[in-house]
Amino acid sequence: MPDFVLRIGGSVLASPINPRLITGYSRVLRRLASEGFRILVVTGGGELARRLIGYARSMGMPVDSQDRVAIQASRVVAQLLAEALKPVAPSEVPYRIGRLPRLLERFKVVVMGGLRPGMTTDTVAVLAALKLGFPLLIKATDRDGVYDKDPSIYPDASKIDSMDFDRLMDMFGRIHYKAGLKSIIDPKAARLIARHRIKTVVLNGFKPENIELAVKGHKVGTIIHG
Ligand code: UTP
């Protein structure tokens, strides 16, 4: 039974905060937990995080400060999901990756948000997968997967069903980080996924059932592998 890290985009759960979808995720994750999966969920801050970044920037704050307020937004979203998952998940939203192994000994599901300035929760999810030795990362986004070009600009963009780590690097590994960066996978995370060859599935997060399909080996979204 593969344990996995599920990174849910703020664009999915929190733009604006979607209570019905959070309930939908809690149902699917409970079911998977009862089947024996251990799951770390990492939520993003979405619109709330970007709005807070905007306030901090307009007050003349440096990027680190902008990031810190955005991290709190991702943790609020994490707390909502954690509470919905009780008692399968603890109400503790951990602030450190080092805390995860102990929590996952006691709970089938743990939910966290951001970690520290200078990254996005994509990187948090990859660092956690590495620490825990979980072999699969799922990124639930507001698209059906990775496209060959931006589908919001190019109507003829087509979804990529499967790609290797080199192509991931070509597409996402070379962009530069800035607070509030919007990319389907952030560059730091893309580099780590490629370096450590972590199997990753990018899928449509508005349908929580997709998670179940992906972990059970069905074709859904874009699969990134070696
Ligand atoms: P998120 O990772 O919360 O993005 O980062 P998101 O809302 O889910 O975005 P999508 O849905 O994937 O597009 C938002 C911002 O929060 C700060 C950064 O500024 C980041 O751009 N952040 C988040 C950190 O600085 N550190 C973290 O560990 C997480």
Asked if residue 119 has pLDDT above 70, the reply is yes
Judge if the upstream peptide bond of residue 87 is cis by omega within 30 degrees of 0: yes
Band (151; pLDDT cuts 50, 70, 90): confident
Q: What pLDDT does residue 22 have?
A: 98
Name residue 110's beta-bridge partners: 40
For residue 46 and ligand 1, the question of a CB distance below 6 A is answered with: yes
Asked if residue 213 has pLDDT above 60, the reply is yes
pTM: predicted TM-score of the whole model, two decimal places: 0.96
For residue 70 and ligand 1, the question of a CB distance below 6 A is answered with: yes
14 contact partners, CB below 8 Å, separation of at least 6: 43, 44, 45, 46, 47, 48, 49, 73, 77
Name the residue range of residue 41's domain.
4-224
Q: What pLDDT does residue 1 have?
A: 64
β-strand pairing of 199-204 with 222-224: antiparallel
Q: Total structural domains in the chain?
A: 1
3-state secondary structure of 211: helix
Q: What is the DSSP string of 111-151?
A: EE---STTS-HHHHHHHHHHHHT--EEEEEESSSS-BSS-T
Q: Which CATH number characterizes residue 154's domain?
A: 3.40.1160.10
Asked if residue 183 has pLDDT above 80, the reply is no
Asked if residue 212 has pLDDT above 60, the reply is yes
8: Cα separation from own chain's centroid: 4
Q: Which atom of ligand 1 is closest in space to residue 142's alpha carbon?
A: 11
Asked if residue 34 lies in contact with residue 144, where contact means CB atoms within 8 angstroms, the answer is no
Band (180; pLDDT cuts 50, 70, 90): low
- How remote is the CA of residue 70 from the centroid of ligand 1, in Å? 7
For residue 121 and ligand 1, the question of a CB distance below 6 A is answered with: yes
Band (27; pLDDT cuts 50, 70, 90): very high
Asked if residue 204 has pLDDT above 80, the reply is yes
Pocket test for ligand 1, best of 50, 120, 146 (most atoms within 8 A of CB): 120
Q: What pLDDT does residue 178 have?
A: 60
